[in-house]
């Protein structure tokens, strides 16, 4: 890629073994950040180097210093610059043009600006169709960093928390906003998902809806509009909350309407990677690791309660219900039998 840029006149080798990119040769330099070349001052965000033709030029290949790792090149031993590494890897793996490039907001300039300049100069094609710069993850309102000792990996998080709860936490904030990771925020994410799954509970959402209710189309249009607005996931979730309320209203008297809307709720949730578990599995199982009783022990208590009711020992049956309720386990009786869920904390 560096050789191509030199051949096209966009780069030049210097007498110190470095290779530099001619920023002023690329007419669209600054387009990602809406910057004008004449407004950029050398010495603020760019290095001043006597070997450069222009102070704004940036390095593509860096000559090796004693003791540094290096590789052979037509310009001597050295290493690639930070910016050219990304352009070379991404175009090699994804092609000359690809759809989405992400990164933190601190990378827009100069890193991503330089990626665009060198990639498009080399290939003659649009480098990236859509740029998405995501906000940072904060832990209890502090920046996540190894130096603060609050750094952890996604694998560590998923070992302790339901993956869907973590996903909800991530999409509840706009991708360009900072995300605060804390036990409280995870708790709120779980409560929100519980509202959705409670709306889906008892409704057949795996079979096609009996009819497409016009109200479902309205929610779908609102959801799509939100997602088309720079992936406005918080607004998209607000639409899902409205839809869940409508499902709950329809359940008692309009089961077909409730089913149609519930199917819509699950499908729209799926766009965000949510609501793909069965309601029973989520409501029952997502907090089992925090329960005082195992699932088999709970089912044994339910069997004891059913036996007590069959013997008309209602006092014992009520005592078992109260015992489980004290542990956060709520029993739900129906003609099909007794089920249980974990009560969400308020």
- CATH number of 160's domain: 1.20.120.640
CA angle 305, 309, 312 (to 5 degrees): 140
Structural domain ending residue among the three candidates 242, 258, 281: 281
Question: Each residue of 240-264: pLDDT tens digit?
Answer: 999 999 999 999 999 989 999 999 9
pLDDT digits (tens, 9 = 90+) for 31-80: 999 998 888 764 445 556 789 999 999 999 999 999 999 999 999 999 99
Q: Does 276 share its domain with 297?
A: no
* Nearest by Cα to 137 from 162, 101, 111, 104: 104
Q: Examine the domain organization and report whether 14 and 113 are in the same domain.
A: yes
Say yes or no: 176 and 267 in one domain. Answer: yes
Measured CA to CA, the distance from residue 211 to residue 197 in angstroms comes to 22
Model confidence band, residue 210 (pLDDT cutoffs 50, 70, 90): low
Are 76 and 208 members of one domain?
Answer: no
Final residue of a structural domain among 115, 133, 151: 133
Q: Are residues 208 and 266 in the same domain?
A: yes
Domain that holds residue 105: 2-133
152 and 56 in a common domain: no
Give the pLDDT of residue 44.
46
Q: Judge whether residue 322 has pLDDT over 60.
A: yes
- Boundary of a domain, candidates 281, 304, 320: 281
- Number of folded domains that form the chain: 3
Question: Which pTM value belongs to this model?
Answer: 0.68
On whether both 240 and 111 belong to a single domain, the answer is: no
């Amino acid at each position: 890629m560096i050789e191509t840029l030199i051949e096209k006149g966009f780069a030049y080798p210097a007498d110190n073994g470095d290779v530099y990119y001619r920023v002023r040769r690329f007419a669209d330099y600054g387009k990602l950040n809406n910057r004008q070349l004449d407004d950029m001052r050398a010495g603020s965000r760019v290095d001043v180097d006597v070997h450069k033709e222009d102070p704004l030029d940036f390095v593509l290949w860096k000559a090796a210093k004693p003791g540094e790792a290096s590789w052979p090149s037509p310009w001597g031993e050295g290493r690639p610059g930070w910016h050219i590494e990304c352009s070379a890897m991404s175009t090699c793996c994804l092609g000359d043009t690809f759809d989405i490039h992400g990164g933190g907001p601190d990378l827009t300039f100069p890193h991503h600006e330089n990626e665009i300049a060198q990639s498009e100069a080399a290939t003659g094609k649009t480098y990236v169709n859509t740029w998405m710069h995501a906000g940072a993850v904060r832990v209890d309102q502090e920046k996540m960093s190894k130096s603060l000792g609050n750094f952890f990996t996604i694998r560590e998080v998923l070992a302790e928390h339901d993956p869907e709860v973590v996903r909800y936490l991530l999409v509840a904030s706009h991708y360009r906003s900072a995300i605060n990771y804390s036990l409280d925020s995870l708790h709120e994410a779980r409560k929100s998902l519980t509202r959705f799954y409670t709306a889906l509970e008892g409704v057949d959402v795996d079979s096609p809806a009996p009819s497409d209710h016009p109200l479902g189309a309205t929610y779908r249009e609102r959801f799509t509009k939100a997602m088309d607005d720079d992936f406005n996931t918080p607004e998209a979730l607000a639409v899902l909350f409205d839809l869940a309320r409508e499902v709950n209203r329809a359940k008692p008297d309009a089961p077909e309407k409730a089913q149609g809307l519930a199917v819509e709720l699950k499908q729209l949730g799926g766009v965000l990677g949510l609501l793909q578990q069965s309601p029973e599995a989520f409501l029952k199982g997502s907090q089992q690791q925090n329960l005082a009783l195992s699932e088999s022990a709970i089912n044994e208590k339910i069997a004891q309660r059913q036996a007590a009711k069959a013997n008309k020992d209602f006092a014992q049956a009520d005592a078992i219900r109260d015992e489980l309720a004290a542990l956060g386990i709520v029993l739900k009786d129906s003609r099909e039998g007794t089920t249980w869920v974990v009560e969400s904390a308020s």
